[in-house]
Chains A and B, each alone.
Chain A
Amino acid sequence: MPLLAVRDLTIALPVGGRMVTIIDSVSFTLGAREILGIVGESGSGKSMTALALMGLIDAPGARITGSARFKGRELVGLPQRAFRDLRGREIAMIFQDPMTAFTPVYTVGWQIDEQIRAHGRVTRKDARARTIRLLGDMGVPDPARVADRYPHQLSGGLRQRAMIAMALSCNPSLLIADEPTTALDVTVQAQILDLLRRLRREYGSSVLLITHDMGVVAETCDRTMVLYSGIIAERGPTGAVFARPGHPYTAALLDSIPPLHGARPARLPSIPGSPPAPADRPAGCPFTPRCAYAHDACAVRPPLLPRGVQDIACVLPAEGRDLPARCATV
């Protein structure tokens, strides 16, 4: 049994008097010690998926349907009281900007202690000892001193390490990381990604990594799921998705990243237009208006169908017109 099995998760929010589907029938599984990357551009619904799994969507009138089984327990429709018990202990989350994600008026040690003491009968002294050990494990130099510092007194890298320490403080089986390195400098980002890869070995946590950065996914995730406008475009093992993208959106997204090595293209292959707002999503395949391969068959939304090790929501594989493989340039 997988740690997390999401089936047909659909989230709709009332916008201007009518329900708008933000996430449409998203399904995926996450195994033990696995890192799954959810990539997408802004408005793809990737963060909304994470918040739904945490039970943190509290917009009035939000409608969540489908199923999300965590260790066999249904999360959709779970009452807040039961969710509170899971949050922080079984499912933990780290956020994009560690500066604003800590309460500014308490020391980071206090905030980590608070989480430890919220989920078990632990004395203040024992909680602090665990906090300091965790900070040390996260590669924080002089953890006892850092625990007594306020968030604004720490560098971005240290703050994010403290945030990860807090998330791991109750040994969660699932860690959701929402753009954990976007606010960080590139050398610090490399350190944090290194840390995330190590976590699975040392803490045995599964990680759901949400990001817009294809590079971060390639470096970190076992499997990848590409979201476009609230719909899964493609999912599969990361190596396969990057070597043989099956959906034109994945391929175009990879192409539009300027290469760091090899020849410089005279022009970057770019995707025309911009992603649709959820309310204006086309009826068929949502990528049709921007797709170089768009044709009549795209007017009907294609189901997610297996193709090799991947699952692809596109009519091309069924028509026998697979996209060309990408040559990995290093």
Chain B
Amino acid sequence: MTAPLIEAQSLRMEYRVGRGQVLRALDGVSLAVRPGEVLGLVGESGCGKSTLGRCLLRLARPTAGRVVFDGTDITALPERTLRPLRQGMQMVFQDSYASLNPRRRIGDLIAEPLRVHRDGQGRRRTAADIAARLAELMDLVGLPQAALARYPHEFSGGQRQRINIARALALSPRLVVADEPVSALDVSIQAQIVNLFMDLRDRLGLTYVFVAHDLAVVRQISTRVAVMYLGAIVELGDADTVLHRPAHPYTAALIAAVPEPVVLPDGDRAPPLRGDVPSPIAPPPGCRFHTRCPSAQDRCRTDPPALRDPGDGRQVACHFPLTGG
């Protein structure tokens, strides 16, 4: 078994929200992503999936726990020491427009990381090096070379997301964390970008952490899936295992709630989950999901379940995991 490329160990992230209240965005999250894997992080708003993505890249500093990138503990590294490592890990955001400075040309935007960072031999890149790399990147993400001389507003949402991907790939990272990279796009464009992510992984041997709320998109791209609820992982395992035969009632409810483009007779629909996600400021005691769980028992109300393997290689945090899917 290969060593993980990035690993989170008992990560906790707490925010003070005034009046002595604490919002626990991450509450003891551990996971490891091996080279070449695509880990899908799914869950509803407030589950901590985006926070986890940011902590993995040290864009946010966790309150407790460790983040290990390629064997180096980066949890407490100062920014100076972290910078060379940053080349190896990049992020793609949801809003393709907000993450591009509207007053700069695409070529400048993508070249910026190339100018800031030195190359493999510790030398500054020459203008010719940079131009060659830009041309290569345009080919990689499927944009015409002419795009380099234009401004962000001249592009559609899908093209802008390609530009963002090109910028993230400029320094040949090994790990890319993508935070909802397709959720602002129209369906027909979304498929193009999902395909691009998959092609790039095959061609460049990338490792992804793919944060998304859309289960179908996550299933399409991920090799493994982590389902999060209120700051903790409730189920983690192979994408096919978790999404075809969910063991956690929350995973099952999430899958059942996805409206599918298939017409069913009216009675064939599972009743939706009751209620809303509770506030992460005051999560329920015991199992966090018990307030909405259709199969909650007395034990679930007091005794928080730990992640454990029900016997098929996945991990699930439930006292009464579903069997047989």
Is A60 an interface residue, CB under 8 A from the partner? no
Q: Is A189 an interface residue when CB atoms closer than 8 A count as contact? A: yes
Chain A residues, Cβ within 8 Å of B254: 186-187
Task: From B28-36, B122-130, B260-268, give the one contacting chain A.
Answer: B260-268
Interface-located stretch among A2-10, A64-72, A253-261, A303-311 = A253-261
Whether A218 and B259, one on each chain, are in contact in the complex, defined by CB atoms closer than 8 angstroms, is yes
Q: In the docked arrangement, what's the CA distance between A264 and B240, Å?
A: 9
Given contacts A185-B213, A260-B255, contact A218 B188 (CB under 8 A): no
A41 within 8 A of B: yes
Contacts of A275 in B (CB 8 A): 186, 188
Kindly list chain B residues whose C-beta atoms are within 8 Å of the C-beta of A217: 261
Interface size bracket, A side = 35 or more
Q: Is the CB of B263 within 8 A of A190?
A: no
B216 in the interface, Cβ–Cβ < 8 Å? yes
B259–A252 touching, CB < 8 Å: no
Is B191 a contact partner of A187 (Cβ separation < 8 A)?
no
Within 8 A of B (CB), among A269-304: 269-272, 274-275, 290
Known A191-B273, A260-B216; judge A253-B262 contact (CB<8 A).
no
Smallest beta-carbon distance A26→chain B, Å: 20
Quick one: CB contact mask for A202-219 with B, threshold 8 Å, 1 for yes?
000000000011111111
Q: Is the CB of B191 within 8 A of A189?
A: no
Q: Does A194 contact B (CB under 8 A)?
A: yes
* Least distance between A88 CB and chain B CB atoms (Å): 27
Contact A186 B258 (CB under 8 A): yes
Contact B186 A42 (CB under 8 A): yes
Known contacts A155-B276, A187-B254, A219-B269; is A242 also within 8 Å of B262 by CB? yes
The interface bits of chain A over 44-78 (1 if a CB of B lies within 8 angstroms of the residue's CB, else 0) are: 00000000000000000000000000000000000
Q: Which of A173-199 contact B (CB under 8 A)?
A: 185-191, 193-194, 197
Would you call A330 an interface residue if the criterion is a C-beta within 8 Å of the partner chain's C-beta atoms?
Answer: yes
Give Cα distance in the complex from A264 to B263, angstroms. Answer: 20
Q: Across the interface, which residues of A come within 8 angstroms of B292, CB to CB?
A: 187
Q: Which residue of B lies closest to A192 (CB)?
A: B272
Q: Is the CB of B276 within 8 A of A268?
A: no
Give Cα A188–Cα B244 distance, bound, in whole angstroms: 22
* Interface residue? B99 (CB, 8 A): no
Question: Contacts A190-B272, A264-B219, A264-B220 hold; do A257 and B187 have CB atoms under 8 A apart?
Answer: yes
Q: Decide if B45 is an interface residue (CB 8 Å cutoff).
A: yes
B70 at the interface (CB under 8 A from A): no
Residue among A186, A194, A252, A258 with most chain B CB within 10 A:
A186
A188: contacting residue among B186, B198, B276, CB under 8 A: B276
Give residues of chain B (160-206) contacting chain A, Cβ–Cβ below 8 Å. Answer: 186-192, 194-195, 198
Within 8 A of A (CB), among B265-320: 266, 269, 271-274, 276-277, 292
Q: Are A238 and B263 in contact (CB under 8 A)?
A: yes
* B140: Cβ under 8 A from any A Cβ: no
Could you tell me the distance in whole angstroms from the C-beta of A86 to the nearest C-beta in chain B?
31
Instruction: How many A-B residue pairs have C-beta atoms within 8 angstroms? Tell me.
Output: 137
Tell me the count of chain B residues lying within 8 A, CB to CB, of chain A. 45
Please provide the chain A residues from 138 to 166 with a CB less than 8 Å away from any CB of chain B in the complex: 155-158
Across the interface, which residues of B come within 8 angstroms of A254, CB to CB? 261
Contact A260 B219 (CB under 8 A): yes
Chain B residue nearest to A194 (CB atoms) is B272
Instruction: Check if A242 sits within 8 Å of B276, measured CB to CB.
Output: no
Given A258-B194, A258-B219: A253 touches B187 (CB 8 Å cut-off): yes
Whether a CB of chain A sits under 8 angstroms from the CB of B228 is: no
Give the complex CA separation of A157 and B213 in angstroms. 16
Asked if B253 is an interface residue, CB under 8 A from chain A, the answer is yes
Shortest B318–chain A CB gap in Å is: 17
The verdict on B68 contacting chain A, using a C-beta distance below 8 Å, is no
Determine the chain B residues whose CB is within 8 A of the CB of A256 once the complex forms.
187-188, 190-191
Does B217 reach chain A (CB closer than 8 Å)? yes
Return B279 CB to nearest CB of chain A, in Å: 8
User: A264-B219, A274-B156 are known contacts. Are A257 and B261 too (CB-CB below 8 A)?
Assistant: yes
User: Would B276 and A156 count as touching, CB distance under 8 A?
Assistant: yes
The yes or no answer to B257 lying at the interface (CB within 8 A) is yes
B262 touches A185 (CB 8 A): no
| Chain B residues closer than 8 Å to A105, beta-carbon distance | none
Q: Are A185 and B277 in contact (CB under 8 A)?
A: yes
A243 at the interface (CB under 8 A from B): yes
Residue of B190, B220, B260, B273 with most chain A CB atoms under a 10 A cut-off: B260
A58 to B292, CA, bound (A): 44
Q: Is B211 an interface residue (CB 8 A)?
A: no
Chain B residues contacting A219 (CB-CB under 8 Å) are 259-260, 264, 269
Tell me how far the C-beta of A131 lies from the nearest C-beta in chain B, rounded to whole angstroms.
21
B45 x A268 contact (CB < 8 A): no
Decide if B187 touches A268 in the complex (CB within 8 Å): no
A329 within 8 A of B: yes
The reply to whether the CB of A267 lies closer than 8 angstroms to some CB of chain B is yes
B123 to chain A, nearest CB (A): 39
How far, in whole Å, are A193 and B256 apart by their CA atoms in the complex? 13
Question: Judging by beta carbons under 8 Å apart, are A158 and B276 in contact?
Answer: yes
In the complex, 5 of the A-B residue pairs with CB atoms within 8 angstroms, ordered by the A residue number, are: A187-B44, A242-B262, A260-B258, A274-B186, A275-B186
Known: A186-B215, A218-B261, A257-B187. 11 other contacts (CB 8 A): A193-B259, A218-B263, A218-B264, A219-B260, A253-B187, A257-B191, A259-B216, A267-B195, A270-B192, A272-B192, A274-B157
Q: 9 closest pairs, A vs B, by CB?
A: A215-B259, A190-B272, A270-B191, A256-B191, A258-B220, A185-B44, A271-B188, A41-B186, A190-B257
